[in-house]
Protein backbone atom coordinates (compact mmCIF):
# COMPACT_ATOMS: atom_id res chain seq x y z
CA UNK A 1 0.00 0.00 0.00
CA UNK A 2 1.23 3.49 -0.69
CA UNK A 3 1.84 5.70 2.29
CA UNK A 4 -1.12 7.69 3.43
CA UNK A 5 0.53 10.91 2.42
CA UNK A 6 0.81 9.69 -1.15
CA UNK A 7 -2.88 8.96 -1.32
CA UNK A 8 -4.03 12.21 0.15
CA UNK A 9 -1.68 14.11 -2.08
CA UNK A 10 -3.13 12.37 -5.08
CA UNK A 11 -6.59 13.38 -4.01
CA UNK A 12 -5.55 16.93 -3.33
CA UNK A 13 -3.86 17.18 -6.69
CA UNK A 14 -6.37 15.50 -8.86
CA UNK A 15 -9.81 15.10 -7.55
CA UNK A 16 -11.00 18.63 -7.95
CA UNK A 17 -9.50 19.01 -11.40
CA UNK A 18 -11.48 18.30 -14.49
CA UNK A 19 -10.10 15.79 -16.93
CA UNK A 20 -9.21 18.52 -19.32
CA UNK A 21 -6.78 20.04 -16.87
CA UNK A 22 -5.64 16.59 -15.92
CA UNK A 23 -4.91 15.57 -19.46
CA UNK A 24 -2.57 18.51 -19.64
CA UNK A 25 -0.79 17.29 -16.60
CA UNK A 26 -0.57 13.85 -18.07
CA UNK A 27 0.90 14.68 -21.44
CA UNK A 28 3.75 16.47 -19.77
CA UNK A 29 5.05 18.73 -22.47
CA UNK A 30 6.10 22.23 -21.67
CA UNK A 31 3.19 23.55 -23.62
CA UNK A 32 0.75 22.14 -21.20
CA UNK A 33 -0.93 23.61 -18.29
CA UNK A 34 0.73 22.16 -15.24
CA UNK A 35 1.40 25.80 -14.79
CA UNK A 36 -1.77 26.99 -16.40
CA UNK A 37 -0.90 30.62 -16.14
CA UNK A 38 -3.21 33.41 -17.00
CA UNK A 39 -0.64 35.80 -18.32
CA UNK A 40 -1.85 38.30 -20.85
CA UNK A 41 0.05 36.98 -23.81
CA UNK A 42 -1.76 37.82 -27.01
CA UNK A 43 -3.18 34.83 -28.80
CA UNK A 44 -2.48 34.67 -32.44
CA UNK A 45 -2.08 31.97 -34.98
CA UNK A 46 0.64 33.68 -36.91
CA UNK A 47 4.32 33.22 -36.52
CA UNK A 48 5.64 36.27 -34.74
CA UNK A 49 9.32 35.65 -35.17
CA UNK A 50 10.18 39.08 -36.41
CA UNK A 51 7.97 40.98 -34.01
CA UNK A 52 8.79 39.35 -30.75
CA UNK A 53 10.75 41.73 -28.55
CA UNK A 54 13.41 40.57 -26.18
CA UNK A 55 13.07 41.91 -22.67
CA UNK A 56 16.17 43.90 -21.65
CA UNK A 57 15.94 42.46 -18.17
CA UNK A 58 16.04 38.86 -19.39
CA UNK A 59 18.67 39.64 -22.00
CA UNK A 60 20.89 40.89 -19.19
CA UNK A 61 20.55 37.68 -17.26
CA UNK A 62 20.94 35.36 -20.26
CA UNK A 63 24.78 35.21 -20.66
CA UNK A 64 25.41 32.93 -17.63
CA UNK A 65 22.88 30.50 -19.12
CA UNK A 66 24.75 30.51 -22.44
CA UNK A 67 28.00 29.96 -20.57
CA UNK A 68 26.53 26.96 -18.73
CA UNK A 69 24.98 25.54 -21.89
CA UNK A 70 28.26 25.69 -23.76
CA UNK A 71 30.46 24.49 -20.91
CA UNK A 72 29.63 21.13 -19.28
CA UNK A 73 32.03 21.98 -16.42
CA UNK A 74 30.19 25.16 -15.50
CA UNK A 75 29.03 25.06 -11.90
CA UNK A 76 26.91 28.19 -11.63
CA UNK A 77 23.64 26.28 -11.85
CA UNK A 78 22.88 23.39 -9.59
CA UNK A 79 22.13 21.03 -12.42
CA UNK A 80 21.76 17.30 -12.67
CA UNK A 81 25.24 15.80 -12.69
CA UNK A 82 26.08 13.79 -15.76
CA UNK A 83 28.85 11.22 -15.97
CA UNK A 84 31.59 11.58 -18.57
CA UNK A 85 31.29 9.05 -21.40
CA UNK A 86 33.37 5.94 -20.86
CA UNK A 87 34.06 3.03 -23.14
CA UNK A 88 33.39 2.75 -26.83
CA UNK A 89 29.67 2.13 -26.92
CA UNK A 90 28.85 5.26 -28.89
CA UNK A 91 32.07 5.57 -30.89
CA UNK A 92 30.32 4.27 -34.00
CA UNK A 93 28.44 7.57 -34.17
CA UNK A 94 31.57 9.62 -34.38
CA UNK A 95 32.33 10.85 -37.82
CA UNK A 96 35.81 12.09 -38.50
CA UNK A 97 35.31 15.58 -39.80
CA UNK A 98 37.45 15.00 -42.91
CA UNK A 99 34.81 12.53 -44.15
CA UNK A 100 32.16 15.24 -44.10
CA UNK A 101 32.07 17.39 -47.18
CA UNK A 102 31.14 20.78 -45.78
CA UNK A 103 29.60 22.00 -49.03
CA UNK A 104 27.32 18.99 -49.34
CA UNK A 105 26.76 18.33 -45.69
CA UNK A 106 23.55 16.60 -44.78
CA UNK A 107 22.73 16.44 -41.11
CA UNK A 108 21.71 12.99 -39.89
CA UNK A 109 20.45 14.14 -36.50
CA UNK A 110 17.60 16.58 -36.19
CA UNK A 111 16.86 17.85 -32.68
CA UNK A 112 13.37 19.32 -32.19
CA UNK A 113 11.85 21.05 -29.15
CA UNK A 114 8.82 23.13 -28.24
CA UNK A 115 9.63 25.20 -25.18
CA UNK A 116 7.72 27.53 -22.89
CA UNK A 117 8.85 29.01 -19.59
CA UNK A 118 11.56 26.52 -18.78
CA UNK A 119 14.66 28.67 -18.28
CA UNK A 120 15.47 26.68 -15.14
CA UNK A 121 16.05 23.49 -17.09
CA UNK A 122 17.89 24.99 -20.10
CA UNK A 123 21.45 24.75 -18.69
CA UNK A 124 20.99 20.99 -18.36
CA UNK A 125 18.68 20.31 -21.33
CA UNK A 126 20.33 22.43 -24.01
CA UNK A 127 23.74 21.81 -22.41
CA UNK A 128 23.31 18.06 -22.95
CA UNK A 129 22.07 18.61 -26.50
CA UNK A 130 25.11 20.76 -27.31
CA UNK A 131 27.42 18.14 -25.81
CA UNK A 132 25.71 15.47 -27.89
CA UNK A 133 25.95 17.54 -31.07
CA UNK A 134 29.65 18.08 -30.44
CA UNK A 135 30.07 14.34 -30.01
CA UNK A 136 28.12 13.52 -33.18
CA UNK A 137 29.83 16.29 -35.09
CA UNK A 138 28.07 19.67 -35.25
CA UNK A 139 27.99 19.44 -39.05
CA UNK A 140 25.91 16.26 -38.71
CA UNK A 141 23.31 17.96 -36.54
CA UNK A 142 20.47 20.43 -36.86
CA UNK A 143 18.58 21.97 -33.97
CA UNK A 144 15.09 23.41 -34.25
CA UNK A 145 13.37 25.12 -31.35
CA UNK A 146 9.92 26.71 -31.25
CA UNK A 147 9.45 28.96 -28.26
CA UNK A 148 6.17 30.49 -27.23
CA UNK A 149 4.63 32.66 -24.54
CA UNK A 150 7.57 32.57 -22.16
CA UNK A 151 7.82 35.20 -19.44
CA UNK A 152 10.83 33.76 -17.63
CA UNK A 153 13.70 34.52 -20.00
CA UNK A 154 13.45 31.33 -22.05
CA UNK A 155 12.99 33.32 -25.26
CA UNK A 156 16.00 35.57 -24.62
CA UNK A 157 18.32 32.68 -23.75
CA UNK A 158 17.36 30.70 -26.85
CA UNK A 159 17.69 33.78 -29.02
CA UNK A 160 21.12 34.65 -27.67
CA UNK A 161 22.15 31.09 -28.37
CA UNK A 162 21.90 31.69 -32.12
CA UNK A 163 25.25 33.39 -32.47
CA UNK A 164 27.02 30.95 -30.18
CA UNK A 165 25.72 27.87 -31.97
CA UNK A 166 26.55 29.34 -35.36
CA UNK A 167 30.13 29.71 -34.15
CA UNK A 168 30.42 25.96 -33.55
CA UNK A 169 28.81 25.15 -36.89
CA UNK A 170 25.41 23.88 -35.78
CA UNK A 171 22.42 24.62 -37.99
CA UNK A 172 19.97 26.20 -35.54
CA UNK A 173 16.46 27.28 -36.47
CA UNK A 174 14.78 29.35 -33.80
CA UNK A 175 11.14 30.31 -34.21
CA UNK A 176 8.37 31.49 -31.95
CA UNK A 177 4.67 30.82 -31.84
CA UNK A 178 2.44 32.57 -29.38
CA UNK A 179 -0.56 30.32 -29.88
CA UNK A 180 -1.77 29.21 -26.48
CA UNK A 181 -3.12 25.65 -26.30
CA UNK A 182 -5.25 26.77 -23.35
CA UNK A 183 -6.70 29.85 -24.98
CA UNK A 184 -9.80 28.19 -26.33
CA UNK A 185 -11.70 25.16 -25.24
CA UNK A 186 -11.34 22.09 -27.42
CA UNK A 187 -8.34 23.17 -29.49
CA UNK A 188 -5.60 22.05 -27.15
CA UNK A 189 -4.41 18.98 -29.04
CA UNK A 190 -4.74 20.72 -32.38
CA UNK A 191 -2.51 23.52 -31.17
CA UNK A 192 0.02 21.14 -29.64
CA UNK A 193 0.15 19.12 -32.86
CA UNK A 194 0.68 22.33 -34.85
CA UNK A 195 3.51 23.40 -32.57
CA UNK A 196 5.23 20.04 -32.87
CA UNK A 197 4.93 20.14 -36.66
CA UNK A 198 6.36 23.65 -36.63
CA UNK A 199 9.45 22.37 -34.80
CA UNK A 200 9.86 19.81 -37.59
CA UNK A 201 9.42 22.40 -40.34
CA UNK A 202 13.08 22.83 -41.36
CA UNK A 203 13.21 19.08 -42.01
CA UNK A 204 9.79 18.71 -43.62
CA UNK A 205 10.29 21.64 -45.96
CA UNK A 206 13.83 20.76 -47.03
CA UNK A 207 13.91 16.96 -47.05
CA UNK A 208 16.76 16.94 -49.56
CA UNK A 209 19.01 18.80 -47.18
CA UNK A 210 19.06 15.90 -44.74
CA UNK A 211 20.44 12.39 -44.93
CA UNK A 212 17.80 9.78 -45.90
CA UNK A 213 18.41 7.94 -42.62
CA UNK A 214 17.96 11.02 -40.47
CA UNK A 215 16.97 10.48 -36.85
CA UNK A 216 14.70 13.03 -35.21
CA UNK A 217 15.36 13.55 -31.51
CA UNK A 218 12.30 15.25 -30.02
CA UNK A 219 12.66 16.33 -26.41
CA UNK A 220 10.29 17.81 -23.85
CA UNK A 221 11.49 20.30 -21.22
CA UNK A 222 13.33 17.60 -19.31
CA UNK A 223 16.61 17.40 -17.44
CA UNK A 224 18.72 14.68 -19.04
CA UNK A 225 22.31 13.75 -19.88
CA UNK A 226 24.19 13.28 -23.12
CA UNK A 227 24.26 9.54 -22.45
CA UNK A 228 20.45 9.50 -22.30
CA UNK A 229 20.23 11.03 -25.77
CA UNK A 230 22.98 8.84 -27.20
CA UNK A 231 21.37 5.72 -25.77
CA UNK A 232 18.03 6.54 -27.44
CA UNK A 233 19.83 6.96 -30.77
CA UNK A 234 22.03 3.92 -30.19
CA UNK A 235 19.07 1.68 -29.39
CA UNK A 236 17.24 2.89 -32.47
CA UNK A 237 20.16 1.67 -34.56
CA UNK A 238 20.97 -1.46 -32.53
CA UNK A 239 17.35 -2.65 -32.33
CA UNK A 240 16.54 -1.35 -35.82
CA UNK A 241 13.68 0.48 -34.17
CA UNK A 242 11.52 3.09 -35.84
CA UNK A 243 11.15 4.99 -32.57
CA UNK A 244 12.66 4.77 -29.10
CA UNK A 245 11.32 6.47 -25.97
CA UNK A 246 12.65 7.22 -22.50
CA UNK A 247 10.71 6.77 -19.27
CA UNK A 248 9.60 10.07 -17.73
CA UNK A 249 8.84 10.58 -14.08
CA UNK A 250 7.28 12.93 -11.62
CA UNK A 251 7.06 12.68 -7.86
CA UNK A 252 3.84 12.35 -5.95
CA UNK A 253 5.00 12.80 -2.41
CA UNK A 254 8.16 10.70 -2.23
CA UNK A 255 6.99 8.24 -4.83
CA UNK A 256 8.50 8.26 -8.29
CA UNK A 257 5.53 8.11 -10.61
CA UNK A 258 5.51 7.38 -14.32
CA UNK A 259 4.22 10.51 -15.99
CA UNK A 260 3.08 9.97 -19.57
CA UNK A 261 0.29 7.49 -18.85
CA UNK A 262 -2.20 9.24 -21.12
CA UNK A 263 -0.06 8.58 -24.20
CA UNK A 264 1.76 5.35 -23.48
CA UNK A 265 0.21 1.95 -24.30
CA UNK A 266 1.88 -1.45 -24.11
CA UNK A 267 1.70 -4.30 -26.59
CA UNK A 268 -1.34 -5.53 -24.67
CA UNK A 269 -3.10 -2.33 -25.72
CA UNK A 270 -3.47 -1.15 -22.14
CA UNK A 271 -2.01 1.83 -20.27
CA UNK A 272 1.31 1.34 -18.43
CA UNK A 273 -0.57 1.49 -15.12
CA UNK A 274 -4.19 1.23 -14.21
CA UNK A 275 -6.12 4.48 -13.87
CA UNK A 276 -9.63 3.89 -12.52
CA UNK A 277 -12.52 6.07 -13.54
CA UNK A 278 -12.04 8.20 -10.43
CA UNK A 279 -8.78 9.40 -12.01
CA UNK A 280 -6.89 8.18 -8.98
CA UNK A 281 -3.18 7.40 -9.47
CA UNK A 282 -3.04 5.05 -6.49
CA UNK A 283 -1.94 2.15 -8.70
CA UNK A 284 0.79 4.11 -10.44
CA UNK A 285 3.59 2.09 -8.89
CA UNK A 286 2.27 -1.14 -10.42
CA UNK A 287 3.63 -0.63 -13.90
CA UNK A 288 2.51 -3.29 -16.38
CA UNK A 289 0.41 -4.97 -13.71
CA UNK A 290 -1.23 -7.05 -16.42
CA UNK A 291 1.65 -7.60 -18.85
CA UNK A 292 4.36 -9.65 -17.29
CA UNK A 293 6.75 -9.70 -20.23
CA UNK A 294 6.96 -5.89 -20.29
CA UNK A 295 7.12 -5.65 -16.50
CA UNK A 296 10.12 -7.99 -16.42
CA UNK A 297 12.05 -6.25 -19.14
CA UNK A 298 11.34 -2.92 -17.47
CA UNK A 299 12.66 -4.24 -14.19
CA UNK A 300 15.89 -5.51 -15.79
CA UNK A 301 16.40 -2.36 -17.84
CA UNK A 302 15.92 -4.14 -21.16
CA UNK A 303 14.21 -2.41 -24.07
CA UNK A 304 10.71 -3.63 -24.91
CA UNK A 305 8.18 -2.97 -27.65
CA UNK A 306 5.06 -0.89 -27.02
CA UNK A 307 2.11 0.31 -29.05
CA UNK A 308 2.76 3.95 -28.22
CA UNK A 309 5.02 6.11 -26.09
CA UNK A 310 6.51 9.57 -25.80
CA UNK A 311 7.71 9.77 -22.22
CA UNK A 312 9.53 13.09 -22.43
CA UNK A 313 12.26 12.12 -24.89
CA UNK A 314 12.16 10.20 -28.17
CA UNK A 315 14.27 9.36 -31.20
CA UNK A 316 12.47 8.38 -34.39
CA UNK A 317 13.13 7.84 -38.07
CA UNK A 318 12.43 10.83 -40.31
CA UNK A 319 11.51 8.45 -43.12
CA UNK A 320 7.79 7.95 -42.35
CA UNK A 321 7.40 11.74 -42.15
CA UNK A 322 9.16 12.31 -45.44
CA UNK A 323 7.80 9.32 -47.35
CA UNK A 324 4.38 8.72 -45.82
CA UNK A 325 3.66 12.24 -44.71
CA UNK A 326 3.01 11.23 -41.12
CA UNK A 327 2.47 14.36 -39.05
CA UNK A 328 1.32 15.28 -35.58
CA UNK A 329 -2.42 15.63 -35.76
CA UNK A 330 -5.66 15.88 -33.86
CA UNK A 331 -8.21 13.03 -33.80
CA UNK A 332 -10.29 12.66 -36.94
CA UNK A 333 -13.99 13.22 -36.69
CA UNK A 334 -15.45 10.13 -35.06
CA UNK A 335 -12.05 8.96 -33.84
CA UNK A 336 -11.54 8.60 -30.10
CA UNK A 337 -10.09 11.76 -28.52
CA UNK A 338 -6.42 11.27 -27.67
CA UNK A 339 -3.12 13.12 -27.51
CA UNK A 340 -1.08 13.88 -30.63
CA UNK A 341 1.90 11.63 -29.69
CA UNK A 342 -0.44 8.64 -29.40
CA UNK A 343 -2.01 9.39 -32.78
CA UNK A 344 1.51 9.76 -34.18
CA UNK A 345 2.40 6.23 -33.02
CA UNK A 346 -0.92 4.89 -34.32
CA UNK A 347 -0.13 6.33 -37.75
CA UNK A 348 3.40 4.91 -37.62
CA UNK A 349 1.94 1.44 -37.05
CA UNK A 350 -0.46 1.94 -39.92
CA UNK A 351 2.38 2.67 -42.32
CA UNK A 352 4.41 -0.28 -41.12
CA UNK A 353 6.68 1.55 -38.68
CA UNK A 354 5.58 -0.25 -35.54
CA UNK A 355 9.01 -0.98 -34.13
CA UNK A 356 8.42 1.37 -31.21
CA UNK A 357 10.25 0.70 -27.97
CA UNK A 358 10.78 2.00 -24.47
CA UNK A 359 14.41 2.11 -23.33
CA UNK A 360 14.06 1.74 -19.55
CA UNK A 361 17.66 2.68 -18.75
CA UNK A 362 16.87 6.21 -19.97
CA UNK A 363 15.02 8.03 -17.18
CA UNK A 364 14.14 11.70 -17.32
CA UNK A 365 12.20 14.24 -15.24
CA UNK A 366 10.93 17.78 -15.59
CA UNK A 367 13.41 19.60 -13.34
CA UNK A 368 17.00 19.14 -12.23
CA UNK A 369 16.14 18.25 -8.61
CA UNK A 370 13.60 15.67 -9.76
CA UNK A 371 16.00 14.25 -12.33
CA UNK A 372 18.65 13.90 -9.60
CA UNK A 373 16.26 11.92 -7.47
CA UNK A 374 15.13 9.76 -10.35
CA UNK A 375 18.71 8.97 -11.41
CA UNK A 376 19.44 7.96 -7.82
CA UNK A 377 16.45 5.65 -7.82
CA UNK A 378 16.50 4.30 -11.36
CA UNK A 379 20.17 4.62 -12.22
CA UNK A 380 22.08 6.38 -14.96
CA UNK A 381 22.32 4.71 -18.37
CA UNK A 382 26.00 3.97 -17.75
CA UNK A 383 25.24 2.38 -14.40
CA UNK A 384 22.83 -0.05 -16.01
CA UNK A 385 25.85 -1.56 -17.66
CA UNK A 386 26.24 -1.18 -21.33
CA UNK A 387 27.07 -4.62 -22.58
CA UNK A 388 24.61 -6.29 -24.86
CA UNK A 389 23.70 -9.95 -24.95
CA UNK A 390 21.09 -11.97 -26.82
CA UNK A 391 18.37 -10.97 -24.36
CA UNK A 392 18.89 -7.25 -25.00
CA UNK A 393 17.41 -7.61 -28.47
CA UNK A 394 13.72 -6.98 -28.81
CA UNK A 395 11.66 -9.76 -30.33
CA UNK A 396 9.65 -7.45 -32.57
CA UNK A 397 5.99 -8.14 -33.19
CA UNK A 398 4.89 -7.03 -36.61
CA UNK A 399 1.24 -6.72 -35.64
CA UNK A 400 -0.13 -4.26 -33.10
CA UNK A 401 -2.60 -5.36 -30.41
CA UNK A 402 -6.06 -5.84 -31.97
CA UNK A 403 -7.65 -3.38 -29.54
CA UNK A 404 -6.14 -0.46 -27.70
CA UNK A 405 -7.59 1.34 -24.71
CA UNK A 406 -8.38 4.97 -25.43
CA UNK A 407 -8.46 7.22 -22.38
CA UNK A 408 -10.95 9.70 -23.75
CA UNK A 409 -11.54 10.74 -20.17
CA UNK A 410 -11.08 8.91 -16.91
CA UNK A 411 -14.75 7.99 -16.82
CA UNK A 412 -14.70 6.82 -20.38
CA UNK A 413 -11.91 4.46 -21.43
CA UNK A 414 -13.18 2.37 -24.32
CA UNK A 415 -11.22 -0.45 -25.95
CA UNK A 416 -11.22 0.21 -29.69
CA UNK A 417 -9.64 -1.38 -32.76
CA UNK A 418 -6.10 -0.03 -32.92
CA UNK A 419 -6.65 1.44 -36.43
CA UNK A 420 -10.07 2.87 -35.66
CA UNK A 421 -11.20 5.46 -38.25
CA UNK A 422 -8.05 5.36 -40.37
CA UNK A 423 -9.63 3.62 -43.37
CA UNK A 424 -12.73 5.83 -43.05
CA UNK A 425 -10.54 8.87 -43.46
CA UNK A 426 -8.90 7.59 -46.56
CA UNK A 427 -5.53 6.96 -45.00
CA UNK A 428 -3.91 4.47 -47.30
CA UNK A 429 -0.98 2.37 -46.16
C1 LIG B 1 32.22 18.41 -51.99
O2 LIG B 1 31.09 18.23 -52.79
C3 LIG B 1 31.05 19.13 -53.91
C4 LIG B 1 29.70 18.95 -54.62
O5 LIG B 1 29.42 17.60 -54.84
C6 LIG B 1 32.23 18.84 -54.82
O7 LIG B 1 32.23 19.73 -55.93
C8 LIG B 1 33.53 19.01 -54.04
O9 LIG B 1 34.63 18.66 -54.84
C10 LIG B 1 33.50 18.14 -52.78
N11 LIG B 1 34.67 18.45 -51.95
C12 LIG B 1 35.46 17.51 -51.44
C13 LIG B 1 36.59 17.99 -50.60
O14 LIG B 1 35.26 16.30 -51.62
C1 LIG C 1 1.69 28.25 -34.71
O2 LIG C 1 0.89 27.33 -34.02
C3 LIG C 1 -0.40 27.13 -34.59
C4 LIG C 1 -1.16 26.22 -33.64
O5 LIG C 1 -0.54 25.00 -33.51
C6 LIG C 1 -0.26 26.53 -35.96
O7 LIG C 1 -1.52 26.35 -36.54
C8 LIG C 1 0.59 27.45 -36.82
O9 LIG C 1 0.83 26.83 -38.07
C10 LIG C 1 1.93 27.72 -36.13
N11 LIG C 1 2.70 28.68 -36.90
C12 LIG C 1 3.66 28.31 -37.74
C13 LIG C 1 4.38 29.41 -38.43
O14 LIG C 1 3.97 27.16 -37.92
Q: Which ligand is nearest the CA of 190, by number?
A: 2
Residue 18 belongs to some domain of the structure: no
Residues 237-253: tens digit of each pLDDT: 999 999 999 999 999 98
CB burial of residue 316 (10 Å; 0-12, 13-18, 19+) = buried
The answer to whether residue 33 scores a pLDDT higher than 70 is no
Q: Which ligand is nearest the CA of 104, by number?
A: 1
Kindly report whether the global pTM for this prediction surpasses the value 0.85.
yes
- Domain span at residue 262 reads 214-429
Q: Which residue has the higher pLDDT, 100 or 389?
A: 389
Task: Please report the pLDDT score of residue 427 as a whole number.
Answer: 77
The answer to whether residue 36 scores a pLDDT higher than 60 is no
Which three-class secondary structure state does DSSP give residue 180? coil
Length of the chain: 429
- Residue 371 near residue 227, CB atoms below 8 Å: no
pLDDT, mean over the chain: 87
Q: CB of 104 closer than 6 A to ligand 1?
A: yes
The answer to whether residue 12 scores a pLDDT higher than 50 is no
Q: CB of 121 closer than 6 A to ligand 2?
A: no
Sign of the torsion angle spanned by Cα atoms 36, 28, 213, 225: positive
The answer to whether residue 43 scores a pLDDT higher than 50 is no
Q: CB of 361 closer than 6 A to ligand 2?
A: no
Residue 283 belongs to some domain of the structure: yes
Task: Please report the pLDDT score of residue 94 as a whole number.
Answer: 79
Mean predicted confidence (pLDDT) in 105-120:
94
Residue 398 belongs to some domain of the structure: yes
Residues 295-326: tens digit of each pLDDT: 999 999 999 999 999 999 999 999 999 998 99
Measure 100 CA to ligand 1 centroid, in angstroms: 10
Sorted by sequence, the CB contacts under 8 Å of residue 224 that are 6+ apart come out as: 80, 124, 125, 128, 246, 312, 313, 362, 364, 371
The answer to whether residue 18 scores a pLDDT higher than 80 is no
Measure 339 CA to ligand 2 centroid, in angstroms: 17
Residue nearest to ligand 1 atom 5, measured at CA: 104
β-strand pairing of 215-219 with 109-115: parallel
Q: Which ligand is nearest the CA of 105, by number?
A: 1
In which band, very low, low, confident or very high, does the pLDDT at 184 lie, cut at 50, 70 and 90? confident
Residue 108 belongs to some domain of the structure: no
The answer to whether residue 154 scores a pLDDT higher than 70 is yes
Q: Which ligand is nearest the CA of 202, by number?
A: 2
Measure 15 CA to ligand 2 centroid, in angstroms: 33
| Nearest partner of 112 among 219, 211, 31, judged by Cα | 219
Residue nearest to ligand 1 atom 11, measured at CA: 101
Residue 198 belongs to some domain of the structure: no
Residue nearest to ligand 1 atom 4, measured at CA: 104
Measure 98 CA to ligand 1 centroid, in angstroms: 12
Residue 65 belongs to some domain of the structure: no
Task: Provide the CA 243 distance to its chain's centre, in angstroms.
Answer: 11
In which band, very low, low, confident or very high, does the pLDDT at 101 lie, cut at 50, 70 and 90? low
The answer to whether residue 195 scores a pLDDT higher than 80 is yes
Q: CB of 153 closer than 6 A to ligand 2?
A: no
For a substitution probing ligand 2, which of 179, 182, 190, 329 has the most ligand atoms within 8 Å of its CB? Answer: 179
In which band, very low, low, confident or very high, does the pLDDT at 9 lie, cut at 50, 70 and 90? very low
Residue 102 belongs to some domain of the structure: no
Torsion angles phi and psi, residue 250, rounded to 5: -130, 175
Residues 214-229: tens digit of each pLDDT: 999 999 999 999 999 9
- Region of 28 on the Ramachandran plot (φ > 0 left; ψ -120 to 50 alpha; else beta): left
Measure 219 CA to ligand 2 centroid, in angstroms: 19
Domain count, the chain: 1
- Residue 7 near residue 15, CB atoms below 8 Å: no
Residue 177 belongs to some domain of the structure: no
Residues pairing with 251 in the sheet: 256
Task: Please report the pLDDT score of residue 390 as a whole number.
Answer: 86
| Nearest partner of 388 among 239, 211, 214, 175, judged by Cα | 239
Task: Please report the pLDDT score of residue 314 as a whole number.
Answer: 98
Q: Which residue has the higher pLDDT, 388 or 232?
A: 232
Q: Which residue has the higher pLDDT, 92 or 36?
A: 92
Amino acid sequence: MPPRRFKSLLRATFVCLSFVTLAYFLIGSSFEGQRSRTTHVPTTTTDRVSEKKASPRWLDSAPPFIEAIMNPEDRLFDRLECPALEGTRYEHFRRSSNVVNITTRMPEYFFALDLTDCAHVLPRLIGSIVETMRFLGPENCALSIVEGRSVDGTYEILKLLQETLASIGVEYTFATNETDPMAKEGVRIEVLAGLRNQALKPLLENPNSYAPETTVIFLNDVALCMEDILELIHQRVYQQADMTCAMDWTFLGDNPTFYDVWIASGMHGDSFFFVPETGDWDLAWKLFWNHRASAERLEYGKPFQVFSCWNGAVAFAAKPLLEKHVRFRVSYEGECFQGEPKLFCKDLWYYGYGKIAVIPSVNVAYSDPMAKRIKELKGYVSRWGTTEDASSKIDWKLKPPADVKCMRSYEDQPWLPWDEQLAEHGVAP
